[in-house]
Structure 1
Amino acid sequence: MNHPLPTSHSPGLHHHRWTAARAAVLGLAGALVLSACATVPAPPTAKLQAAELAIGNADTARITDQSSPELSDAREKLTAARLAVEQEQMVVAARLADESRASAELASARSELLAARTVNEEMQKNLDTLKLEMQRREGVSQ
Structure 2
Amino acid sequence: MNSIKKVKSQQNLKLLKVKSISPIEGHSKKRVDWLLKKICDEGVWKVPVKVEKTKFLLMDGHHRFEVAKLLNLTFIPVELFDYSEVEVFSLRKNRKVNVDIIFKNHEEGIIYPYKTAKHNFKSSNKSFEGISLNELK
Task: Give the structure-2-normalised TM-score.
Answer: 0.22
Q: Which has the higher helix share?
A: 1
Q: Which has the higher strand share?
A: 2
Of structures 1 and 2, the larger Rg is shown by: 1
